Amino acid sequence: MKKVLYANIVLFLATLFCLGFLNVISDKPTISQLENRALKERPKLTTEKLFAGDYCKEFEEYFADTFIFRENFVNLSRDIKELRGFSREDQATIVDHTGANFAAGEPGKTGSILLLKDRAMYIHYFNPQALGLYATAINNLQERLSDGVKIYSLIAPTQIEFVANKKSKEVSAPEKNSIDFVNKRLHRVTPVDAYATLKESWGEYLYFRTDHHWTALGAYRAYTALMKATGDKAVPLEKYAVQELAPFLGSLHTLTLNKNLEKKPDTLQLYQPFTEHQYYVYWSNTPVQREVLEMAHAQNKNKYGIFLGGDIPLGKIVTQVKNGKKILVIKDSYGNAFVPFLIPHYEEIYVVDPRHYKEGVVQLIRDNKIQEVLFINNTDTLIEEDFPKLLLKLVQR
């Protein structure tokens, strides 16, 4: 009996030693392809960090991120959760932003995700303070501009609003209420009713199953709603050449690592612009020429980054449409798939992301003689209070 006990102890210690030795000599990964993020780098040891306790904390995070076989353990953790019944195909599950799972029907929080069969969706909740601040920011810009500048507001609903499922209706607040709440508070601003257009087209592939964004087709349907509001004629979808990229597992798969999502990955559809144009990105005062469909991102897990090359502070598209029309698009990432459809209609298109642009837009509008401004953001961005605050700063600078 003692021999068996000693053998178990020796085996256990030998396993720990081997794992520790392999962990020391193995190459340290810098990126997790599974989680689509950069891993922690080895911290630099300084006296200040050591005595403040920061070094030990940072080293612990680095060690946890770069431990040998880490991605295998992450996959194992996912499989154990599924064995506990969290990912049955017929079950609705909520994953909160800490990674914890609990049964659908319990109240969610911002960042909570509903897993429903082969689809994942952010849960919406009603936040009147944030929504009111968003409307205030738009009104503030309208008041600071001359009457010659037309302002449009397009609030994009997310897919949970249209999924005909009892569970989704139980846990998610109606997004139509949030949209109406903002629109009723806008003054001398034209609301764009993308909601009705998307609802009418719901049978189409408008939203990704594994990502929180709409597809390019969903963005196109919203674009037709804008054209209706501006009085312009939308370009027929048939005029675009289409390129498809598959498979695509998006942001919500990255957050949940759910196997049901992997069984039915998404396809990315790219509608190729046919109007001659140049696209410039400004990370500083020096412009860098890019493509509005940046195919370098096709090799990444986050293929949605193809649209405009991802979220950038300031972008400018100069087209061969010599009509003198200029528009500024103030947007979250939903705007990335949307903006390319504007190319046939404007001579210049300016794109600003409030999360990254640190200058003021009033001067940008005046300096470039911009005649139209479009706010395009999704409902879940609006209820995160930091975004309306950033937007208010953007229009007040």
**pLDDT digits over 370-390, tens only?**
999 999 999 999 999 899 999
Distance CA 131, CA 126 (A): 8
**Mean pLDDT, rounded, for 281-304:** 95
Residue 208 in tokens: 């990704």
Indicate the average pLDDT of the chain.
86
Tracing tokens 């029907």 back to the chain, one arrives at 105
Residue 105 pLDDT greater than 70, yes or no: no
Q: What is the DSSP string of 245-279?
A: EEEE--HHHHHH--HHHHHS-EEEEEEE--S-EEE
The predicted pLDDT at position 35 comes to 47
Who wins on pLDDT, 77 or 312? 312
The predicted pLDDT at position 53 comes to 61
Residue 83 pLDDT greater than 60, yes or no: no
Q: Dihedral of the CA atoms 42, 43, 47, 52 (nearest 10)?
A: -130
- Banded model confidence at residue 92, pLDDT cuts 50, 70, 90: confident
The predicted pLDDT at position 234 comes to 99
Are 374 and 150 in contact, with CB atoms under 8 Å apart?
no
Residue 77 pLDDT greater than 80, yes or no: no
The predicted pLDDT at position 199 comes to 98
The tens digit of pLDDT for each residue in 331-359 reads 999 999 999 999 999 999 999 999 999 99
One-letter identity of residue 167? K
First to last CA, the chain: 77
The predicted pLDDT at position 93 comes to 86
Characterize the bridge pairing of strands 287-290 and 277-282. Answer: antiparallel
Residue 117 pLDDT greater than 50, yes or no: yes
- Banded model confidence at residue 66, pLDDT cuts 50, 70, 90: low
Residue 389 in tokens: 């605050």
Distance CA 90, CA 97 (A): 22
pTM over cut 0.75:
yes
Characterize the bridge pairing of strands 37-38 and 31-32. Answer: antiparallel
Enumerate the H helices of the chain as residue ranges. Answer: 2-25, 47-52, 54-66, 70-83, 128-144, 166-171, 175-183, 194-200, 216-230, 251-256, 259-263, 334-338, 361-367, 379-382, 386-396
Who wins on pLDDT, 273 or 167? 273
Residue 54 pLDDT greater than 80, yes or no: no
Residue 316 pLDDT greater than 70, yes or no: yes
- Banded model confidence at residue 152, pLDDT cuts 50, 70, 90: very high
**Mean pLDDT, rounded, for 156-182:** 94
- 51-60, 263-272, 286-295: range with lowest mean pLDDT: 51-60
- Banded model confidence at residue 216, pLDDT cuts 50, 70, 90: very high
Q: Dihedral of the CA atoms 307, 313, 317, 318 (nearest 10)?
A: -160
**Mean pLDDT, rounded, for 98-127:** 73
The predicted pLDDT at position 27 comes to 65
The predicted pLDDT at position 9 comes to 75
Who wins on pLDDT, 328 or 75? 328
Distance CA 75, CA 61 (A): 19
Distance CA 234, CA 184 (A): 27
Distance CA 343, CA 292 (A): 10
Residue 28 pLDDT greater than 70, yes or no: no
Residue 175 pLDDT greater than 50, yes or no: yes
Distance CA 333, CA 316 (A): 16
The predicted pLDDT at position 383 comes to 96
Residue 251 pLDDT greater than 70, yes or no: yes
Residue 2 pLDDT greater than 90, yes or no: no
**Mean pLDDT, rounded, for 10-26:** 65
| Beta bridge partners of residue 331, listed in sequence order | 376
- Banded model confidence at residue 393, pLDDT cuts 50, 70, 90: very high
